[in-house]
Homo-oligomer: A and B are copies of this chain.
Amino acid sequence: MDVVDERILHHLVRNARATFADIGAEVNLSAPAVKRRVDRMIADETIAGFTTIVDPESLGWGTEAYVQVYCKGTVSPQALFNTWESIPEVVSASTVTGQADAILRVRARNVRDLERALERIRGDDTIDHTESIIVLSRLIERG
């Protein structure tokens, strides 16, 4: 990982379908050299993958919320993971400091769908209660 790798990453983050030749032109390297560095970063798991940014509204997923989860007694992160990984509406989940034990980001088609997802999120009986914060408008969205 040097400064050239970082510049290559920067270009790939802006456009994952950029050609190695184009990236090479911007970092003063040949296409094969860029490919070898990218391959190494994939092997390193510095690059976790290439994905497409889809507008959720266009697919009818217009409702988003942050859900703070409060548990009873001791919490096993693994148990929480097992409960939530199968719920497609759960976009991200993290254990956190503070009063809550975890924060989830949830994306649903509508408020009804969100409600159903919340019921599944509360499925584990170690969960005491949840607190939902619905997103009104996205101001910034990066990476």
Binding site for B on A (CB under 8 A): 1, 6, 9, 12-17, 44-55, 58-59, 64, 66, 77, 80-81, 84-85, 90-98, 100, 102-103, 133-143
CB-CB nearest in chain B for A78: B139
Knowing that A46-B55, A93-B138, A94-B136 touch, tell me 13 more A-B residue pairs with CB under 8 angstroms.
Answer: A1-B58, A1-B59, A6-B59, A17-B17, A47-B54, A50-B50, A51-B52, A66-B103, A77-B139, A84-B140, A91-B142, A93-B139, A97-B136
Q: Which residues of B contact A15 (CB under 8 A)?
A: 49-51
Asked, given contacts A77-B137, A103-B66, A139-B81, whether A54 binds B9 with beta carbons under 8 Å apart, the answer is yes
Q: Which of A14, A44, A92 has the most CB atoms of chain B within a 10 A radius of its CB?
A: A92
Asked, given contacts A77-B139, A91-B142, A139-B102, whether A47 binds B52 with beta carbons under 8 Å apart, the answer is yes
Q: Which residues of B contact A48 (CB under 8 A)?
A: 53-55
B58 adjacent to A96 (CB under 8 Å): no
Q: Which residues of B contact A97 (CB under 8 A)?
A: 133-134, 136
Q: What 3 A-B pairs have minimum CB-CB distances, sorted nearest first?
A: A16-B50, A12-B52, A93-B140
